[in-house]
Amino acid sequence: MKNKIVFITGATSGIGEGCARKFAAMGSDLILNGRNTEKLESLKQELSAQGVDVLTLPFDVRDRNAMRKAVESLSGKWKNIDVLINNAGLVIGLDKEFEGNLDEWDIVIDTNIKGLLAMTRMIVPGMVERKCGHIINIGSIAGEAAYPGGSVYCATKAAVKALSDGLRIDLVDTPLRVTNIKPGMVETNFTVVRYRGDKKRADEFYKGIHVLNGDDVAEVVYFAASAPAHVQIAEVLVMPTNQATGTISYKKS
């Protein structure tokens, strides 16, 4: 039986990197996307040593032409993608909605919504044709309700939920599955970007609580992907034990 082919966007850190390691450990061949070519190649060498095939596609999901060229370059077995993990995403800043930076908002919206949409549009038709495939979108607890300083990011993750639900409806007459994974507090480079590179502030945010890491979320992603073909895990909200909602958590002093 052939190895599954898993395409992961934003694979060079955090949840994406965790997913790459988890699926490689379970024998899947990987197409890894990211903006950092050096990190992609390093991860490729590490995972290839485990006996799986790894193809790297360096491009920014905001660059539709680069994405199209990369996808169209796929040949042979690499065309037959079994699992698409739309993971690439970010947030910049914690500004109030009437004070935020429009250029930063463009980056967030173009990555979290338009990048996900474009990847879906380019990959899913092949899955429909082959009558086989699973789309796993990395949403967020932020898509459940807005919180202070997060309205734009929360809106993008609410969009991920709507897009996941809508795609599931569009594919209801096919064997394809759609899953929205919604993590709560996860300690990754994501938070450093949120604080515009201030690692100290990012570390302070997680102080006093045992939060999730990329590997924890990857376990949930793999669980959804490995369910029997007739089982569709539509949505999973996964949080640290001491987190209750997007805004309520308990931190030891």
Q: What burial letters (b/e) apply to 137-148, b meaning 16+ CB within 10 Å?
A: bbbbbbbbebee
98 CB burial (10 A radius; 0-12, 13-18, 19+): exposed
Which residue among the candidates 153, 195, 222, 250 is catalytic per the annotation? 153
Crossing angle of the two packed helices 14-25 and 214-225, in degrees rounded to 10: 50
Residue with tokens 């709507």: 162
Assess whether 147 carries a catalytic annotation. Answer: no
Residues carrying an active site annotation = 153
